[in-house]
C-alpha cells in the first residue's frame, strides 16, 4: 500500500455467520454507547484493538467506538460525557469507574504553509493542514511530518485507511453485527502480519510511536512485522527523539507489559530502537552482549511471569528488574557515599538524564530507590525488625526484586524461605492500591479530579467575626 490518501477500496462486509465476534463478549457499556448512537441516527462502530482481539479470541482491555457524530454532538447525546484532548479530540462516556472512548471518523488533508498565530505556538516549524471541502476540524504537522493535531473529520473509509496497521482498522457494525474491512485487515490477521497502511516511512514520520506499537503488537500477538514496515523502523528510529518523552514512557511501559517482553526486547535490539530510547543502558549491554543481554532477557521472562500470574509489576519494580545490574554497576563506583545514598543518587541522576528521551516519573524513581536500598534488610530476621519492614508499602516489591536477584544463590535462598514462611504466618497481604503501585497500561478507568479552591473576587475582604 502507498499513501493512505491514494488508497481507494470497496469494503469487505463479513456477515455475522462468518465471524466469531459476539455481543456477549462486548462490554455492556460499549453496547449502550453503540445502540444509543444508532437510536440517535448516527453510525456507531467498534474499532481498533477491541475488534482485533475479539476476532483472535482474546479478551480486549477496553472498547473504543467511532461514529459520524462530531465530538460536540456526542456530548449532547450523552449526558455522562466529557470531551478531552487537543491533538486528537475525543469524547469519554462515563459509566461509574468505566470509560468508553468515542472518536469521530477522521480523514487526511493537504497542508497549508501558513499556520495561524495559535498554531505557531505548537513549535518552531509547523504547517497547518486545511480540511477537505465540507470537512470540519484541523490538522497540524511539523515540517518533518510529525502530526501535532489531528481533528479533520471524514468517512468510515477515510478513517480506516488513516489508521496505523491493517489489523487495527477493522470495524464491528452494531447494525447487522457484521465486520467491515477496508484494508484487507482480516487477511493479515489470519496470516499473522503487522502491515502498515500506506508507506511505513511516511506513517512513522507522522507518528514515530507507531514504530514502538508495531513491535508491541508483533510481540504480544506472536505476529511478524511485514518486511517494509520492519526495515523502516531501523531506518527512521531516530525520529523517536522528536516524540514527547512522557508519551514515550507510556508506550515503553505498555511494551514491557505486553505479556511477551522478551520478544519485544529482541525487536528493540535488532532494530536499534533500544539505543534511541535508552542509550546508556544499550551501550552497557553492548559491552558484554552474551552475558548482559542474557540477564536482560531473564528479567523480561520474570516480568512476563508476573503478568501471566495476574499481578503485573509496578513501574518501579519493572525498571528495577530491567536495570538492576546496570544501575548497581554505576552506584558501586561511588565509593564516597553509603550504599543506600549511592544507589538513590544513581537512580535519580539516571532518570533525570533519561528524561529527554523517556520521562520516567519521579515517584517510580523513588520507588526503585526503596527497592534497591532494602536488599540488606532481608538479612535482619531478629526482633521487631521484620514486622516494621513488612509494614512498608514497598515491602512486597522489594521482596519480589530480592527473590529475583538471588534466584541462583543457595545461601540467599534460605532467607527467601524464611520470609515466605513469615509472610504466610502473619498473613501479610500486598496492598491493593497505592500511588507507588499504579500501572499506566491498566484498563481505562475514571480518575477523580480534585476540586480547585473557589476564587474570591478581587478586592474581596472577609469581614471580621462579630463578637
Answer yes or no: 164 catalytic.
yes
The catalytically annotated residue of 53, 62, 188, 304 is 62
Answer yes or no: 397 catalytic.
no
How far apart are the C-alpha atoms of 425 and 387, rounded to whole Å?
Answer: 12
The catalytically annotated residue of 53, 64, 68, 304 is 64
Q: Contacts for 62-65 with beta carbons within 8 Å, 24 or more apart? A: 62/99, 62/101, 62/443, 62/444, 63/26, 63/27, 63/29, 63/30, 63/100, 64/100, 64/101, 64/102, 64/103, 65/30, 65/33, 65/34, 65/37, 65/100, 65/101, 65/102, 65/103
Q: What share of the chain is helix, strand, coil (3-state, %, to 5)?
A: 50, 15, 35
How far apart are the C-alpha atoms of 41 and 291, rounded to whole Å?
Answer: 61
Answer yes or no: 53 catalytic.
no
Q: Contacts for 443-448 with beta carbons within 8 Å, 24 or more apart? A: 443/61, 443/62, 444/61, 444/62, 444/98, 444/99, 444/101, 445/97, 445/98, 445/99, 446/94, 446/96, 446/97, 446/98, 446/99
How far apart are the C-alpha atoms of 331 and 128, rounded to whole Å?
Answer: 48
Q: Exposure pattern of 92-107 as b/e (b: 16+ CB <10 Å)?
A: bbeeeebbbbbbbbbb
The catalytically annotated residue of 164, 181, 188, 400 is 164
Q: Are 147 and 207 in contact (CB under 8 A)?
A: yes
Q: 3-state secondary structure string, 323-381?
A: HHHHHHHHHCCCCCCCHHHHHHHHHHHHHHHHCCCCCCCHHHHHHHHHHHHCHHHHHCC
Q: Are 54 and 20 in contact (CB under 8 A)?
A: yes
How far apart are the C-alpha atoms of 4 and 199, rounded to whole Å?
Answer: 8
Helix (H, G, I), strand (E, B) or coil at 98: strand
How far apart are the C-alpha atoms of 159 and 171, rounded to whole Å?
Answer: 10
The three cell numbers of residue 288 are 558484554
Helix (H, G, I), strand (E, B) or coil at 193: strand
| Phi, psi angles (nearest 5°) of residue 299 | -65, -40
Q: Are 142 and 123 in contact (CB under 8 A)?
A: yes
The three cell numbers of residue 211 are 514504530
List active site positions.
62, 64, 164
Amino acid at each position: 500500500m502507498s499513501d493512505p490518501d491514494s488508497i481507494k477500496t470497496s469494503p469487505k462486509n463479513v456477515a455475522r455467520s462468518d465471524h466469531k465476534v459476539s455481543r456477549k463478549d462486548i462490554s455492556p457499556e460499549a453496547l449502550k454507547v453503540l445502540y444509543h448512537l444508532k437510536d440517535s441516527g448516527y453510525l456507531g462502530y467498534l474499532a481498533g484493538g477491541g475488534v482485533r482481539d475479539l476476532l483472535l479470541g482474546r479478551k480486549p482491555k477496553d472498547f473504543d467506538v467511532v461514529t459520524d457524530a462530531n465530538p460536540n454532538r456526542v456530548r449532547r447525546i450523552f449526558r455522562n460525557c466529557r470531551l478531552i484532548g487537543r491533538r486528537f479530540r475525543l469524547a469519554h462516556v462515563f459509566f461509574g469507574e468505566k470509560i468508553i472512548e468515542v472518536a469521530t471518523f477522521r480523514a487526511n488533508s493537504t497542508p497549508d504553509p501558513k499556520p495561524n498565530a495559535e498554531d505557531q505556538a505548537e513549535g518552531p516549524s509547523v504547517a497547518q493542514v486545511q480540511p477537505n471541502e465540507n470537512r470540519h476540524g484541523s490538522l497540524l504537522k511539523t515540517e518533518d511530518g510529525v502530526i501535532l493535531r489531528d481533528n479533520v473529520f471524514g468517512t468510515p473509509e477515510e478513517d480506516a485507511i488513516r489508521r496505523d496497521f491493517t489489523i487495527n482498522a477493522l470495524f464491528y457494525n452494531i447494525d447487522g453485527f457484521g465486520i467491515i474491512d477496508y484494508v484487507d485487515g482480516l487477511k493479515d490477521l489470519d496470516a499473522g502480519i503487522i502491515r502498515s497502511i500506506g508507506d511505513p516511512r511516511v506513517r512513522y514520520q507522522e507518528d514515530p510511536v507507531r514504530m514502538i506499537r508495531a513491535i508491541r503488537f508483533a510481540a504480544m500477538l506472536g505476529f511478524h512485522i511485514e518486511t517494509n514496515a520492519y526495515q523502516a523502523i531501523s531506518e527512521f528510529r531516530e525520529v523517536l527523539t522528536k516524540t514527547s518523552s512522557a508519551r514515550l514512557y507510556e508506550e515503553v511501559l505498555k511494551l514491557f507489559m505486553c505479556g511477551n517482553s522478551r520478544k519485544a526486547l529482541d525487536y528493540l535490539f535488532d532494530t536499534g530502537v533500544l539505543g534511541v530510547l535508552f542509550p546508556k543502558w544499550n551501550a552497557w549491554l553492548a559491552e558484554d552482549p552474551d552475558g548482559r543481554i542474557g540477564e536482560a532477557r531473564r528479567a523480561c521472562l520474570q516480568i512476563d511471569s508476573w503478568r501471566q500470574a495476574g499481578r503485573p509489576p509496578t513501574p518501579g519494580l519493572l525498571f528495577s528488574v530491567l536495570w538492576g545490574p546496570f544501575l548497581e554497576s554505576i552506584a558501586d563506583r561511588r565509593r564516597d557515599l553509603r550504599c543506600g545514598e549511592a544507589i538513590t543518587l544513581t537512580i535519580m541522576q539516571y532518570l533525570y538524564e533519561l528524561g529527554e528521551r523517556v520521562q520516567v516519573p519521579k515517584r517510580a524513581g523513588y520507588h526503585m530507590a526503596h527497592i534497591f536500598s532494602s536488599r540488606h534488610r532481608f538479612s535482619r530476621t531478629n526482633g521487631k525488625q521484620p514486622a516494621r519492614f513488612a509494614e512498608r508499602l514497598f515491602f512486597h516489591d522489594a521482596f519480589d526484586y530480592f527473590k529475583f536477584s538471588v534466584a541462583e544463590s543457595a545461601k540467599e535462598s534460605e532467607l527467601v524461605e524464611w520470609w515466605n514462611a513469615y509472610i504466610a504466618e502473619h498473613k501479610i497481604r500486598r496492598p491493593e492500591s497505592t500511588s507507588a503501585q499504579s500501572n499506566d497500561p491498566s484498563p481505562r478507568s475514571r480518575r477523580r479530579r480534585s476540586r480547585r479552591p473557589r476564587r474570591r473576587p478581587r478586592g474581596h475582604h472577609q469581614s471580621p467575626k462579630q463578637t
